[in-house]
Amino acid sequence: MADKMADGRPSTQPVLATRGLTRHFGGLIAVREVSVALHQGELHAVIGPNGAGKTTLVNLLSGEIRPTAGYIELDGRAVAGEPAWRLARLGVGRSFQRTNIFAPLTVLENVRLAAQAVDRSQRNPLRHAKHGTGLVDKAQAALARAGLTGVETRVAGTLSHGEQRQLEIAMTLAGSPKVLLLDEPLAGMGPEESERMTALLKGLAREHAVLLIEHDMDFVFAVADWMTVMAEGGVIAQGRPEAIRANTAVQQAYLGSHA
């Protein structure tokens, strides 16, 4: 267990951290000088109203888009501007706000392809045959971790909405990530499905550094170890859920009737 500082956060080096991270889209500043630190074993929730810049932040962290300015460090190494495929191989896994599976393929094929996409040895044909089995094993393990054992041969498009979101988590896990960037994994779920996903996310947060974007405040306050509140691209508050709940600026800018 890592040493704890006075505020209860681990004093070890963050797995992923940003300083002054900024992204412009023409005249719009979608992400403005954002500094966040994601620690192993911590569930870090990012909240904020629609258009606050949450997804753009995840897109920057995962290398989908390049920053206009600022720093990103993965295990202490500068990675801003690295492409998504390289960051995936270095241990950054992400899921998307809108479900992003290959509907006509089976569940197992979806996860195997995800494992293959981040595989470091795929260009070595000599290892290929043996390696194919390794990818299937990896995919099976990811499916088991995401609670999807027993549906491997189903066509992904026929799964329930909740199962499809679990499948996305499995696809992310197939790359053996250190960091999980999860963009609204609970969106559109019924109570039973969310309960299952909540248990899964809590477990994953013990083994990874997790950044979770979520609009359901009851859920966020129940599961988050640490929170970042964004509005209009910037960070308006960071801290433990108790402190965020009591923060007047947050209440005014965002929580409104939730507070």
From 15, 16, 21, 30, residue interacting with ligand ATP (rule: CB under 6 A): 30
Number of Cβ within 10 Å of residue 153's Cβ equals: 9
Tokens of 247: 């923060």
Of the pair 68, 97, the CB lying nearest Mg ion is at 97
Answer with the entry of ligand ATP, Mg ion, none that 25 interacts with (C-beta below 5 to 8 A by kind).
Answer: ligand ATP
Q: Which stretch binds ligand ATP (CB under 6 A): 10-18, 52-60, 76-84, 113-121?
A: 52-60
**Shortest CB 219 distance to ligand ATP, Å:** 15
* Residue closest to Mg ion when measured from CB atoms: 55
Of the pair 96, 226, the CB lying nearest Mg ion is at 96
Per-state percent for the chain, helix, strand, coil, to nearest 5: 40, 25, 35
Number of Cβ within 10 Å of residue 25's Cβ equals: 11
52 binds ligand ATP (CB under 6 A): yes
Kindly identify the residues of this chain, within the stretch 83-102, that bind ligand ATP according to CB under 6 A. 97
Number of Cβ within 10 Å of residue 237's Cβ equals: 20
48 binds ligand ATP (CB under 6 A): yes
Q: How far is CA 207 from CA 150, 204, 210, 225, in A?
A: 24, 5, 9, 14
Alpha-carbon distance of 60 to 70, in angstroms, equals 11
Contact 230, 34 (CB under 8 A): yes
Q: By rule CB under 5 A, what string of x and - marks binding of each residue 17-56 to Mg ion?
A: -------------------------------------xx-
**Site for ligand ATP, rule CB under 6 A:** 25, 28, 30, 48, 50-56, 97
